[in-house]
Amino acid sequence: MSLVRLYDTTLRDGTQAEDISFLVEDKIRIAHKLDECGIHYIEGGWPGSNPKDVTFFKDIKKEKLHQAKIAAFGSTRRAKITPDKDQNLRTLVASEADAVTIFGKSWDFQVHEALRIPLEENLELIFDSIEYLKARMPEVFYDAEHFFDGYKSNPEYALKTLKAAEQGGAACIILCDTNGGTMPYEIAAIIEKVKATVSVPLGIHTHNDGECAVANSIVAVNSGIVQVQGTINGFGERCGNANLCSIIPALRLKMGAECVSDAQMRQLRELSRYVYELANLAPNKHQPYVGNSAFAHKGGVHVSAIQRHPETYEHMRPELVGNTTRVLVSDLSGRANILAKATEFNINLDSKDPVTLEILEDIKAMENRGYQFEGAEASFELLMKRALGTHRKFFQVVGFRVIDEKRHEDDQPLSEATIMVKVGGKVEHTAADGTGPVNALDNALRKALEKFYPKLKDVKLHDYKVRVLPAGQGTASSIRVLIESGDKESRWGTVGVSSNVIEASYQALIDSIEYKLHRDEETAGAKK
């Protein structure tokens, strides 16, 4: 099977889901992760709709991506004005994206009810919008919105809209199941009709309202589609979009399609959990391919069988997507995970080393308390160093105090932190204020340590996320804090867990600083 292009719209369509929102910084981080995992096109947003997306397209130009192209999204021009006067189209051009995708109406019902213009005028909108962009952008894709509903309602007109896009110069025409109600057998039959009408390469964009988004995408590829649009974890409006975390391994392993490399596919689980973490959502453990339970077995006949031959109850090897077989009574894959991470961090571990078992037991105990190391690799590396005895304690926190004060009803609260640290034999006692208790604690800790370790001035706290763990104890529940820090060279994540949000934040802050000091020491040693 020939190359299938993967088009990710997590940063645009995915953010239309309830409870999903990303900062510009989050979107850039996710874009890098998508690029590393082999995604061909990353739809960054709709620059004509909000300032956040305008900022994204401005900032992403400063980033170096390995292979992915950044796509901007928008609509055909408005009726009654020419393309060069349409602000939406002009903003798309101004984005300087590598590609642009515009949507237009393919369903006569939508033309009458949403646009309220004659059917012929809609064809003109499609044609001259694409023609205008074609002359100004490297690649232009056309999303035929509501195409399958449109075809079922008025096939002749739906096909005319595709011909207009083809004549306008679209590089690929994407057939959209916008309402998500089309069945797989309908998808295949309609695509055959489309292929007899237009010669432009075709793509597929499906929604999951009928629980068929992944199936419809796979059927479309089997019918000759060459571009698949979807989102990580199926994020999207209403019931979501087609889930690329399921589509990619299905294409690569089940259908033999060329889309990502084996190494990139092994990062799929990590990508899934990374996006969940930045969305501040708990991963779906029952998610196919990448979920914790996707290859989990519990007792009885199943466990006995998979210990002899995993294929007895597993449809594929989980390692191919970065997942592992799990026996819920005793996690047989835990040691392998530890060894893989140790290799990643250039730490020498042996599978028979008692330290490996110690690390595994520590992780099990910590995960039971609510720790999660996806997005907190720095904390995980420090955990291994402590078990190996290679962890150096650069400083000791003797104690700290944080005060939050609101002096008048209409005033903003005031936060102040006091901290005492010991470095070598010297004690430093400092205080600092901040925009909140965590920021004040961070400022005080840095202030105390920077005179001993000047390079800490380069460290910035880029992101701070808090999740209440589902303990059913209301305000007494445990809290997990994930912090992303960085300096001029890189970024790293740390985690803390406690029933006290300040204590959880403190744990993550300490790990962040210790990781920086360890890394600087190792870098200096490597240069000698």
CATH code of residue 424: 3.30.160.740
Q: Do the Cβ atoms of 29 and 275 come closer than 8 Å?
A: no
497 within domain boundaries? yes
CATH code of residue 111: 3.20.20.70
Residues 274 and 213 in one domain: yes
Through-space distance between the first and last CA atoms of the chain, rounded to whole angstroms: 51
314 within domain boundaries? no
Residues 232 and 366 in one domain: no
Q: Residue 115 is part of which domain span?
A: 5-278
**Per-residue model confidence (pLDDT) at position 340:** 55
239 within domain boundaries? yes
State which H helix or E strand residue 81 sits in.
Answer: none
Rounded Cα gap, residues 334 and 327, in angstroms: 10
- pLDDT tens for each residue of 277-286: 899 887 898 9
**Per-residue model confidence (pLDDT) at position 285:** 85
CATH code of residue 474: 3.30.160.340
Contacts of residue 384, Cβ cutoff 8 Å, sequence gap at least 6: 338, 341, 342, 345, 347, 349, 359
- pLDDT tens for each residue of 393-407: 999 999 999 998 887
Rounded Cα gap, residues 218 and 247, in angstroms: 7
State mean pLDDT over 423-449.
92
319 within domain boundaries? no
Residues 97 and 227 in one domain: yes
Residues 56 and 141 in one domain: yes
**Per-residue model confidence (pLDDT) at position 444:** 94
Residues 190 and 47 in one domain: yes
Residues 448 and 461 in one domain: no
* Residues 487-505: b if buried by 16+ CB within 10 A, e if exposed: beeeebbbbbbbeebbebb
Residues 437 and 474 in one domain: no
pLDDT at position 79 over 60: yes
Look up tokens 């055959």; give the residue.
192
- Of 420, 452, 484, the one marking the end of a domain is 452
Chain centre distance of CA 413: 34
- pLDDT tens for each residue of 235-251: 999 999 999 999 999 99
355 within domain boundaries? no
Tell me the pTM: 0.69
Is the four-CA dihedral 241, 244, 249, 251 of positive or negative sign? positive
- pLDDT tens for each residue of 297-343: 765 555 556 666 777 778 899 999 999 876 543 333 455 556 656 66
State mean pLDDT over 424-446.
92
**Per-residue model confidence (pLDDT) at position 324:** 83
- Compute CA distances 349 → 339, 384, 511, whole Å: 6, 10, 22
